[in-house]
Amino acid sequence: MNNKATGLPQLEKFLLTPIETMAISEMSALFFLFSALLRSSLVHSQGLQIGFYDNNCPDAEDIVRSTVEKYYNNDATIAPGLLRLHFHDCFVQGCDASVLISGASSERTAPQNFGIRGFEVIDDAKSQLEAVCPGVVSCADILALAARDAVDLTGGPSWSVPLGRRDGRISSASDAKALPSPADPVSVQRQKFAAQGLTDRELVTLVGAHTIGQTDCIFFRYRLYNFTATGNADPTISPSALPQLRALCPPAGDGSRRVALDLGSPGAFDVSFFKNVRDGGAVLESDQRLWGDAATQAAVQSFAGNVRGLFGLRFSYEFPKAMVRMSSIAVKTGSQGEIRRKCSKFN
């Protein structure tokens, strides 16, 4: 893609301009450029390509989309589940659907993968695809498409997904240590993302997926009651957020109770999550720590500052780019790996 021809330099110039200083004509131009680019591929890498199945399975993307829609219409919380499933896949062995394999010591059984969901959506889409295009569409590509559709269905941006991934032949619970933890300080988060070739800016952008995410009380309740030596709460939690979080997760309550990671607008893919981080209202410790590091704080502020005006246009522009980058991690293409007949089993 010729970036100069498509107006990317102009768009990036606008996105670095404070909204308050823009003229009406500049805002209109920004909307036009953004609309024209949002559904185009902003990154083309690792041997993947847009329209990979156009000739041998032209309905592939539509089948995945309709399947995700069916489950989403029945339970909207499946959207963050699918997004997390794709993320957890890519950070272990690359984006090769290794997280989908079932078995006593498979990746999905690791403690780090506790609570991941959405397997039935992927299995359903795969079953339909095998009926019309047997042995063609990989489970890894279905995961990447489902994650994109989940974001779109919750009001977030859509984008063209480069395809052509093949499924891996290794799935081990011991490899899941590469996944970020809810208690990781920024230094550890930075190390884990850098190991996947992702920058600090991309770290913050991708964590923004928590705008539609959920977690269990067990993963953050320690912040609310016994965080310090004197038994007090994590001091980075704002006084206004603490009572709300304690009401959701009482000290002797159910540790598996699900809580939205963005209490302001849990079902909408927007930038209020970043505002929560800025204001001391993040649920997970790892999210709140992003405000305490100079580099990640700058990225959080750049998104949080866009709550007004153009409704998070900067985040809506950068999130697809970061997702395409993440979904290209250590992909298998060509003759590598396999195309599974069932996503939960090696051939």
CA 200/CA 205 separation, integer angstroms: 9
Mean pLDDT, residues 155-174: 97
- For the chain, the structural domain boundaries read 3-38, 186-326
- Beta-carbon contacts of 258 under 8 Å, excluding residues fewer than 6 positions away, are 77, 214, 215, 216
Per residue in 99-158, pLDDT tens? 999 999 999 999 999 889 999 999 999 999 999 999 999 999 999 999 999 999 999 999
CB 117 within 8 A of CB 87: no
pLDDT bracket for residue 44 (50, 70, 90): very low
Question: What fold is seen in the domain 186-326?
Answer: Peroxidase; domain 2 (1.10.420)
Task: Write out the catalytic residue numbers.
Answer: 88
Q: Is the pLDDT of residue 169 over 80?
A: yes
E-strand stretches of the chain: 214-216, 258-260
Helix (H, G, I), strand (E, B) or coil at 284: coil
Collapsed DSSP state (helix, strand, coil) of residue 260: strand
Assign 336 a pLDDT band (cuts: 50, 70, 90): very high
